[in-house]
Chain A
Amino acid sequence: MIRHAGLCVLRGAACLLAALVASVAAPVAARAAEPPVVAAASDLQFALEEIAQAFAAATGERVRLVFGSSGNFARQIRQGAPFEVFFSADEQYVEDLAREGRTRDAGVLYGIGRLALVVPRGGPLAADASLADLRAALGDGRLRKFAIANPEHAPYGRRAEEALRRAGLWTDIKPRLVLGENVSQAAQFALSGAAQGGIVAYSLALSPRIGDRAAYALLPESWHGPLRQRAVLLKGATPAAERFFAYVQAPPARAVLRRYGFAVPGETG
């Protein structure tokens, strides 16, 4: 009977669904034991992954890392996102959250970030720290698109804007800017070939994955406000989150941060 063959297909699909649904119940029950979720500014994309791997090797414990722009994370935390640790590229976000009583305490300063000009290898632009070639490229038409993070909610974008203003290039370069949702996406844009370069986090420029396809120059620290980066335990952080938080402040983790170009403060606070 053709009609019943049709119903059988429907029934089969329903059975398949039921099996999948049954598998859903288990993870829900086990969720309390899942590794803590750590929200981190995307300049830590590579450094924190390395630290988390070292943490897992040393303790056997895991964390779940989420990378994005600090401003977006701060907003998501206010809306109840289930993060337990927050690494912000701008300590202002942490201070605001602390004032609103959403954090355990004032957190710790874990590093001071720097900016770098990155250009794709073989591209038309030279990576010089004075931005002289960038200025020339703006004039002679070699520069069509230039990537920075969105200054509105990404700290590295804000500092990149300051550096470009300080260099006197902001007005000319503004129509050519492409804005990344966070600094990691800005780096992606800068090196995809669609743009001729960008100003991104030095820590990203130092990572092997990016170093393979880009040339970079560290910009002078005096050209922009400091990128004071603060990490904090959020309300409701579990002991596992506390252990990771402590590990990030221990010498092996600080060595990794230093290797990725962060100035690591001697004292916490």
Chain B
Amino acid sequence: MDLEALWLSLRLGALTVLVLLPLGVIVGRWLAYRSFPGKSVAEAAVALPLVLPPTVFGFYLLVAFGAASPIGAAWQAAFGRPLVFTFEGLLIASVIFNIPFAIQPMQRAFEAIPSALREAAASCGMTPWQVLRRIELPLAWPGILTGMVLSFAHTLGEFGIVLMVGGSVPGETRTVAIAIYDRVQAFDDAGAARMSAFLLAVSLIAITATFVLSRRVGRRLA
């Protein structure tokens, strides 16, 4: 088992979730409660990574973040490290690609809260912040947790983008999914089998957790 790759994947997953948690709550809540012209377009943009091939996304990132691009050059000048083929670049890619996995369950959870409940809270004199903290978050938490679990598990398994913008550098961009690919190419079937079994277990646990959580949402609001 490539522990370095495993640790890297866990770090990447945790950081991705950490960035997406506030983003998901804010954007998910906003999409749930506001209606505005072009809302469908905004929702489509959020969902786009679900249908966009990872290689397409990876290609655009490579072009956008590469050493020849303005963003890549500015990053290099500021931090002395390139953005592609580094952990930071991978994190940015991972955050963008996980947007639908984080935001959509959170949006559904906020949508499921009856508006009468929020209005009642407001008419009792609660500030919007209090409503969020005392009413909305306690009711929406299974959806929020589902978003976190899904984006974490999805980060561990993402392959195409990591291959395109990562470059399989050990300890930097070689995630578990890439390490499995490398092990197969090195004719190390036993190593690949161990890591695959681990990812299988993580995925199964994650998906089971989301089902348990979504059942809770249903029961709570019934």
Contacts and interface: CB of A to CB of B under 8 A. Distances in A.
Contacts of A79: 62, 66-68, 72, 82, 84-85
Given A64-B170, A64-B171, A210 B187 contact: yes
Interface string B153-174: 0000000000000011111101
B189 to A, nearest CB: 10
A9 B186 contact: no
Interface stretch (B44-52, B93-101, B117-125, B142-150): B142-150
Interface of A: 3-4, 6-7, 9-10, 13-14, 16-18, 20-21, 23-24, 27-28, 34, 37, 42, 45-46, 64-68, 76, 78-83, 182, 184-185, 187-188, 191, 207, 209-210
A27 B4 CA distance: 12
Contact of B17 (A9, A17, A81, A82): A17
Nearest to A24: B11
A71 B81 CA distance: 23
B137 A20 contact: no
10 contacts: A7-B141, A10-B137, A10-B144, A34-B171, A45-B186, A66-B167, A67-B182, A68-B168, A82-B172, A188-B184
A37 B168 CA distance: 10
Contacts of B137: 7, 10
B185 interface: yes
Contact of B172 (A6, A37, A185): A37
B141 A76 contact: no
Interface of B: 10-11, 14-15, 17-18, 21, 62, 66-68, 72, 76, 81-87, 137-139, 141-142, 144-145, 148, 167-172, 174, 182, 184-188
Nearest to A212: B187
Contact of B82 (A24, A45, A82): A82
A80 B21 contact: no
Nearest to B186: A45
Given A76-B85, A81-B85, A21 B18 contact: yes
A83 B167 CA distance: 10
B86 A82 contact: yes
A6 B187 contact: no
A45 B144 CA distance: 44
Contacts of A24: 11, 14-15
Contacts of A17: 14, 17-18, 21
Nearest to A72: B167
Contacts of A27: 171
Nearest to A182: B185
A23 B15 CA distance: 11
A69 to B, nearest CB: 11
A35 B113 CA distance: 53
Lowest 7 A-B CB distances belong to which pairs?
A80-B67, A80-B82, A20-B14, A3-B138, A6-B141, A81-B85, A79-B66
B185 A81 contact: no
